[in-house]
Amino acid sequence: MANPQAREVHGHEFEEIPDELEPGTHLAIEDLNRVRLTVTAELGKCTMLVRDVLELHRGSVIQLDKLAGEMSDILVNGLPLAKGEIVVIGDTLHVRVGDIVGSGERPEGLGAEGFEEEEEI
C-alpha cells in the first residue's frame, strides 16, 4: 500500500562556489534581486498556558502586549528591520514603514545603504 503523503524526490546539482575568486572577477549585486526574504510584521505577543490555548474557540479574544496605535516590529528573516504602523486599506492589513532600526547609529562615512559615501572635492 502506497503512502498517500509520500512525495517524489528529484535530484538537483548545485554549482560549486570557489573559495577564492580569480583576480578581476566580481559578483554582480543584481544577482541578489532574485533572493526571496520573509518579511513579518508582529502585531504583538502574549504568553498563555496550554489549558488556555485549548479553551480557545471561534470568537475568542487574545490580549496582546501592544497598545492600539503602537508601532509594530517589522522583521526580515526573523531579524529586526524597522518599526511600522498597521493600517487597513480595503479589507487587508498593511504596514507603513516608520523608523528603520539602527538608521541613526551608522558609522560616520556610511550612506543610507551602508556603502561608503564619496567625498566632494
Res 119: pLDDT? 44
> Are 42 and 76 a contacting pair, CB within 8 Å?
no
Spatial CA neighbour of 52 closest among 63, 65, 39 = 63
- Report the pLDDT value the prediction gives residue 68, as an integer from 0 to 100: 83
Rg (CA), the chain: 23
Give the pLDDT score at 49: 97
Evaluate whether 74 touches 97 at the Cβ level (below 8 Å): yes
Q: Which three cell numbers stand for residue 27?
A: 559578483
The confidence score (pLDDT) of residue 58 equals 96
Positions of the chain with pLDDT lower than 50, given as ranges: 106-107, 109-121
- Fold for domain 29-105? Surface presentation of antigens (SPOA) (2.30.330)
- pLDDT value at position 38? 94
Helix intervals (H) in 18-121: 50-54
Look at residue 34 in the predicted model and tell me its pLDDT: 83
Per-residue confidence (pLDDT) for residue 35, from 0 to 100 = 87
Q: What are 17's three cell numbers?
A: 562556489
116 within 8 A of 110, measured Cβ to Cβ:
yes
